[in-house]
Copies of this chain bind each other. A is one copy, B any other.
Amino acid sequence: MTFSDRSGRKPIVTVLMGDRPVVGLERVGALAEIRETDAAGLPAALRGADVLYLWDFFSGALEPAWNHADSLQWLHVAAAGVDKLLFPGLIESPVTVTNAHGVFDRPMAEYVLGAMLFSAKGFGQTRDQQHNRVWGRRTTRNIAGARVLIVGTGSIGRCTSRLLRAAGADVDGAGRVGRSADPDFGIVHASSDLAGIVGAYDYVVLVAPLTPQTDGIISADVLAAMAPTSVLINVGRGRLVDEAALARVLDDGGIAGAVLDTFAVEPLPPTSLLWGMKQVLISPHMASDADSWLEDLALQFESNFLTWQSGEPLPHPVDKALGYVPTSDSGK
């Protein structure tokens, strides 16, 4: 029985717009009353709304408007990370939160594989030499048999592990809870002990969500424990890493290089030492964004909306206490 059958009216869907044009609301618009609003209009647009669709997830407009959310049942955010979204009033409420679970898995897995090969094959130095028309032949690493630690065992980490393994790398995981015989990782180390284990890996890949437990998880101690030949790849959140300590360890040769797609402050300030480091690739928070991403996000919301209005449980809800979508299997 649909929402309309149950209530005798169309559901009200409030859409918080943003800098990028909202796409894909045609089908939902035929079944619901759509209220498009900007941040200033959010309090009024929340009153009576059944669904809130945060198309512009970077907005901090929700918390101050929260006491106007008098009828809200479901909030969908068109992003993977919900660290900037969650606040006590939302966490304690019965509102179901869903996110862009799965949409970014494959683009991010490919970005990580590309980052590994970028480092292994020395493409950064090759590009720099090209600017100076320098022909500098040298030998490079293979990724076959390379040891990789993926920090973060959600759906993105799992998709990444499967792709890196298919390409010949030897992958373990690190997550909140250590375990063995994981279908995608085999061994999953407890991420509370990273300093004790990172030294064994050629690549340390960060795809974890930002939570109180992961904030600063790649500390100076963990960086010091990494191998001098190893490479850090961060496509998770900038604040997972102690950025000042990272700049020091890179400068000292404590690790060989880094590919960084996220930073504590974005855009990365022009004063950051990281910009000028030849052994670092500065990538502007784009690992997740395949050409089709806006369409993929729109299709996902449409699919979730059809599920919700039919009265069925929404797939892959965010665990608001944990701060992410828990997965313990291949996410299928």
Q: Which residues of A contact B (CB under 8 A)?
A: 106-107, 110-111, 113-114, 117-118, 120-121, 123-124, 126-131, 133, 135-144, 163, 166-168, 266-268, 270, 275, 281-286, 289-291, 293
Contact = CB atoms under 8 A, between A and B. Distances in A.
Given A118-B123, A127-B124, A139 B282 contact: no
Contacts of A286: 137-140
Contact of A139 (B118, B135, B290): B290
A166 B118 CA distance: 18
A79 B71 CA distance: 72
Contacts of A124: 127
A295 to B, nearest CB: 11
B290 A137 contact: no
B284 A141 contact: no
Nearest to A123: B118
Contacts of A266: 135
A281 B166 contact: no
Nearest to A116: B114
Given A290-B140, A290-B141, A120 B130 contact: no
A105 to B, nearest CB: 10
B135 A284 contact: yes
A289 B270 CA distance: 36
A130 B276 CA distance: 8
Most buried by B among A110, A120, A136: A110
A123 B281 contact: yes
Given A167-B163, A289-B137, A281 B106 contact: no
Contact of A110 (B139, B143, B270, B275): B143
Contacts of A113: 113, 117, 167
Contact of A130 (B118, B126, B168, B275): B275
Contact of A284 (B120, B136, B289, B293): B136
Contact of A128 (B127, B166, B168, B275): B127
A286 B141 CA distance: 11
